[in-house]
Amino acid sequence: MTTGLIICGALGREVLDIVRRHGWDAEIIGVPAIDHVFPDRIAPHVESRFRELQERYERVVVVYGDCGSRGALDETLERIGVERIAGPHCYEMYAGDRFQEMMDVEPGTFFLTDFMVRTFNGLILKSMGLDRYPGLREDYFRNYKRIVYLAQNDLPEYRQKAQRIAEYLDLPLEVRQTGYGMLEQRLVHLMEQK
């Protein structure tokens, strides 16, 4: 029977690609990526999606990190009996152990993923008010020292956009090719546990 994957919207294209690559009988149900700006919404939105869909699937898996919910997502999932992929957030899922190494080297690192590069204007500029109040850029980003773009796909247009983002934020850019990293490995592990 089909598995329902309740996913963070920021992982949509990547999870769809992983599902296709492995030929799984799975359907993807998204939770809005904008919840990262308001992490207290994550657990309620995931639970709401589960309640809407629980009768449709024999199995439901949540493909979402804690992402700032401060444990609320895991508490909710434990209460309703749903498993989730391991990991605190997608940066760690993509970079694996290298994420902590990068943070140890420079705690003031702003990370980008393919999703963030594609949606920077809406996800960051608009949702944080920078389109209306450009002076907030200094307030929001003054403690950052660099940008590390964790690239899932090595696309020239994404690299160019990441460079424009770095120029806008006036930060040096480093690009690290990660592919799907631990996201794919952990999802494969969960899907094989049927």
Assign 17 a pLDDT band (cuts: 50, 70, 90).
very high
Exposure string of 81-116, with b = 16+ CB inside 10 Å and e = fewer, is ebebbebebbbbbbbeebbeebbeeeeebbbbbbbb
How many helices and strands (H and E) does the chain possess?
9, 7
Q: What is the pLDDT of residue 35?
A: 74
Q: What is the pLDDT of residue 194?
A: 65
85 shares a domain with 7? yes
101 shares a domain with 63? no
Q: Which has more confidence, 5 or 31?
A: 5
95 shares a domain with 171? yes
Domain of 12, in residue numbers: 3-89+180-192
184 shares a domain with 138? no
78 shares a domain with 10? yes
- Tokens representing 98 are 């290298």
Q: What is the CATH number of the domain that holds 63?
A: 3.40.50
- Residue 150 pairs in a beta bridge with 176
- Alpha helices (H) in 111-155, listed in sequence order: 114-120, 136-141
* Tens digit of each residue's pLDDT (9 = 90 or more) over 89-133: 888 999 999 999 999 999 999 999 999 999 999 888 888 889 999
Domain count, the chain: 2
83 shares a domain with 7? yes
Placement of tokens 């919207």 in the chain: 9
157 shares a domain with 106? yes
* Tens digit of each residue's pLDDT (9 = 90 or more) over 137-184: 999 999 999 999 999 998 999 999 999 999 999 999 999 999 999 999
Q: What are phi and psi of 101, to 5 degrees?
A: -60, -45
Contact 72/42 with Cβ under 8 angstroms?
yes
112 shares a domain with 50? no
Q: What is the pLDDT of residue 71?
A: 81
In eight-state DSSP terms, residue 2 is P
* Tens digit of each residue's pLDDT (9 = 90 or more) over 23-76: 999 999 888 777 777 788 888 988 898 998 888 888 999 898 887 778 888 898
